[in-house]
């Protein structure tokens, strides 16, 4: 059986420098083999390790072995991939690794589902999940979600395994998206599973009556607009869940708000500025059911990118197939505004001015009206140059040549 890194290091510390005949017990070739097997796989530049190792092991001696062991530990520790995450995401990951069921609570548009998926994918990138494992499984909860979707059951095509059971068996993060929308009776099917998330060597029954052992790397993240105990004032379709469901997330509920730095990073400066301005206007009314989500920003951004690539005659600009100009960012934004009440739309167009908080990078719309901003972005040279630099930042491609930077 192959020794673990810690076991090898312990042997190195306890191995005498030389045998009774004076020869080295562990020679340089052996040490290099250990490096290749136990360290090089997690260090980005194994040649550097071998070079440093050759300097350390010139005259084998016990202190040198200890020094080398400490070097391996330091190198390995520094090589572990670190997830880039916020304080909130760090706490969520801690809850998951501790075996707690996590619940992300926030209004529409705060990126709860995106955060859950990002955390699962980041864990896979670190090697926590194997290459064969799915990082996450999603159940989109609604009043139409059936027991078959959760624990499995028979359909006209035969038995279908439930998504929750698949995650339980194979490992990964089970995302219960919009959990409050689940019918309370159907939600009760999750209780046994959620009660055993933190336990080892436990089994649950699927829709066919078969017992399945829990994967050690099974985790749960639920998302919703309510705290599960109420229906929420501004959202439709939510149900008041049984307290037993709430209890399985108690102590691990995280309130999620807009992630402004992330939104700036993922969007064009102009798109973020306009979107943030719309959000500030809508948030003046706490009862407003409309919101600007990261998803909305990205929808705006895709049209903005398409329009601006055409504007600068980029070889990457798609044809309209009709010889016409195609959809514009302004039209995309106005399609959202047209769905507001007449009073809100009128105030937004005639009275609203962007604040200093609606600035990103080299773009600032402070004091601008919405219409002024939407009339200027495609013709102002400053905004056009900003698009070019932002496109390169987001895609790593030169929009003028279509080649990677």
Q: Phi and psi (nearest 5°) for 203?
A: -130, 150
- Residue 60, pLDDT above cutoff 60: no
CATH code of domain 87-255:
3.40.50.300
Q: What residues does each domain of the chain span?
A: 5-79, 87-255, 260-395
Residue 24 pLDDT = 46
Question: Between the CA of residue 296 and those of 263, 353, 383, what are the distances in Å?
Answer: 11, 21, 21
Residue 19 pLDDT = 45
pLDDT, tens digit (0-9, with 9 covering 90-100), for 145-198: 999 999 999 999 999 999 999 999 999 999 999 999 999 999 999 999 999 999
pLDDT, tens digit (0-9, with 9 covering 90-100), for 239-266: 889 999 999 999 999 998 888 888 888 8
| Mean pLDDT for all residues in the chain | 82
Listed in sequence order, the DSSP H helices in 240-356 are 243-247, 260-266, 269-282, 294-311, 329-337, 342-350
Name the least confident of 133-147, 273-287, 295-309.
273-287
Residues 174, 96: contact at Cβ < 8 Å?
Answer: no
- Residue 80, pLDDT above cutoff 60: no
């Amino acid at each position: 059986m192959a020794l673990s890194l810690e076991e090898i290091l312990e042997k190195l510390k306890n191995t005498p420098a030389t045998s009774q005949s004076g020869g080295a017990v562990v020679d340089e070739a052996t040490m290099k083999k250990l490096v290749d097997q136990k360290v090089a796989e997690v260090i980005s530049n194994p040649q550097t390790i071998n070079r440093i190792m050759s300097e350390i092991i010139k005259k084998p001696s016990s202190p040198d072995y200890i020094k080398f062991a400490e070097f391996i530990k330091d190198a390995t520790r520094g090589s572990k991939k670190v997830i880039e995450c916020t304080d909130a995401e760090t706490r969520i990951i801690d809850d998951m690794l501790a075996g707690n069921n996590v619940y992300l609570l926030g209004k529409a548009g705060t990126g709860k589902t995106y955060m859950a998926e990002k955390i699962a994918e980041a864990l896979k990138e670190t090697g926590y999940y194997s290459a064969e494992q799915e990082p996450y499984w999603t159940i989109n909860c609604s009043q139409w979600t059936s027991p078959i979707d959760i624990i499995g059951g028979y359909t006209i095509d035969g038995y279908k395994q439930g998504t929750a059971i698949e995650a339980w068996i194979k490992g990964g993060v089970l995302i219960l998206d919009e959990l409050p929308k689940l019918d309370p009776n159907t939600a009760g099917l999750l209780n046994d599973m959620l009660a055993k998330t933190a336990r080892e060597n436990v089994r649950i029954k699927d829709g066919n009556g078969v017992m399945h052992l829990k994967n050690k790397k099974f985790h749960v993240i639920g998302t919703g607009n309510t705290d599960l105990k109420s229906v929420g004032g501004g959202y439709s379709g939510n149900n008041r869940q049984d307290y037993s469901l709430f209890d399985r997330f108690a102590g691990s509920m995280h309130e999620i708000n807009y992630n402004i730095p992330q939104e700036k990073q993922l969007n064009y400066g102009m798109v973020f500025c306009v979107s943030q301005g719309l959000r500030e206007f809508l948030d003046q009314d706490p009862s407003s059911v409309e919101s600007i989500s990261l998803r909305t920003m990205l929808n705006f951004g895709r049209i903005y990118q398409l329009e601006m690539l055409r504007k600068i005659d980029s070889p990457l600009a798609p044809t309209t197939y009709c010889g016409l100009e195609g959809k514009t960012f302004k039209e995309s934004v106005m399609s959202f505004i047209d769905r507001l009440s007449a009073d809100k739309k009128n105030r937004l167009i005639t009275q609203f001015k962007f604040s200093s908080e609606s600035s990103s990078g080299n773009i600032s719309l402070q004091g601008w009206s919405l219409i002024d901003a939407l009339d200027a972005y495609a013709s102002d040279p400053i905004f056009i140059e900003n698009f070019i630099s932002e496109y390169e930042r987001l895609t790593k491609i030169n929009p003028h040549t279509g080649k990677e930077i």
